[in-house]
Amino acid sequence: MQSTSRPVVQAEKLGKQVLSPAGQLIILQDIDLTIHAGETLAIVGVSGSGKSTLLGLLAGLDIPTSGRVFIDGTNISDLDEDGRARMRNQRVGFVFQSFQLLASLTALENVMLPLELAGAVAPDIEARQRLTEVGLAERLQHYPNQLSGGEQQRVAIARAFAGKPQILFADEPTGNLDQKTAQQIIDLLFSLNSEHGTTLVLVTHNPAIADHCERSLTLAGGKIIAS
């Protein structure tokens, strides 16, 4: 089944270096990777191994210093920042460890935001639907600081699915949550994922969560050591 799906994200000889006070610091090196439509992929590794950096590159939040990333066949380095923004808006959804909701907007407005940015016709209708799916139909007008961590992450998940992205990137989405809530969030994420038929790339250091995914790759010192 995998072989018949088309690739949505491809990385070729991907590398990332930054200039630190101590000199050039290599964060990622020689990453080759293909992610197919509809698959679920876990990226695991110890803290500092480069997981978030890789995720950011695959999602087009940053550009590599060497190698190339293709999203839907487009080299993200060929796009300007606005082009990448459009790409993220149309094809990509995010869930972050620290929720990253806009504190000035209500739950509903947070979910509407990507839809509005895309110029959707009736953003509030879809946003309500997404929030209902995550079980927050009653909390539409609440601000993030009026919600618990788990609820905030639900809003973030609803926002990630708004606009029907092809691919979802989640960076340790349960890192800030207690075990029970974490399990609920993971279950929600996976069930919505299969419901929407989205491709899911999930960063975690928890092997139990990684086991939910069809495939996993392990990073260490900026390199893939197992796949």
Ligand X SMILES: Nc1ncnc2c1ncn2[C@@H]1O[C@H](COP(=O)(O)OP(=O)(O)O)[C@@H](O)[C@H]1O
- The answer to whether 51 and 219 are in contact (CB under 8 A) is yes
Strands (E), 86-214: 92-95, 167-171, 199-203
Binding piece for ligand X, criterion CB under 6 A, among 19-27, 97-105, 152-160, 186-194: 19-27
How many other C-beta atoms can be found within 10 angstroms of the C-beta atom of residue 194?
Answer: 12
Site string for ligand X, 28-67 (x = CB under 6 A): -----------------x-xxxxxxx--------------
Pairing, β 167-171 against β 199-203: parallel
Nearer to another protein, 107 or 212 (CB): 107
Picked from ligand X, another protein, Mg ion, none, the partner binding residue 159 (CB below 5 to 8 A depending on kind) is: another protein
Closest distance of CB 98 from ligand X, Å: 13
Q: Across the chain, which distance is largest between two alpha carbons, in Å? A: 52
Containing 29, the helix (H) or strand (E) segment is strand 23-36
In 3D, which of 102, 97, 91, 82 has the Cα closest to residue 182?
Answer: 97
Closest distance of CB 201 from ligand X, Å: 13
How many other C-beta atoms can be found within 10 angstroms of the C-beta atom of residue 67?
Answer: 18
Closest distance of CB 116 from another protein, Å: 4
Picked from another protein, Mg ion, ligand X, none, the partner binding residue 50 (CB below 5 to 8 A depending on kind) is: ligand X
Q: Which of 2, 5, 13, 18 binds ligand X (CB under 6 A)?
A: 18
Chain residue whose CB lies nearest ligand X: 52
Give the whole-angstrom CA distance, residue 35 versus residue 103. Answer: 33
The residues binding Mg ion (CB under 5 A) are 52
Contact residues for another protein, defined by CB under 8 A = 52-53, 56, 61-63, 81-82, 85-90, 92, 94, 96, 98, 100, 102-105, 109, 113-114, 116-118, 143-145, 149, 159
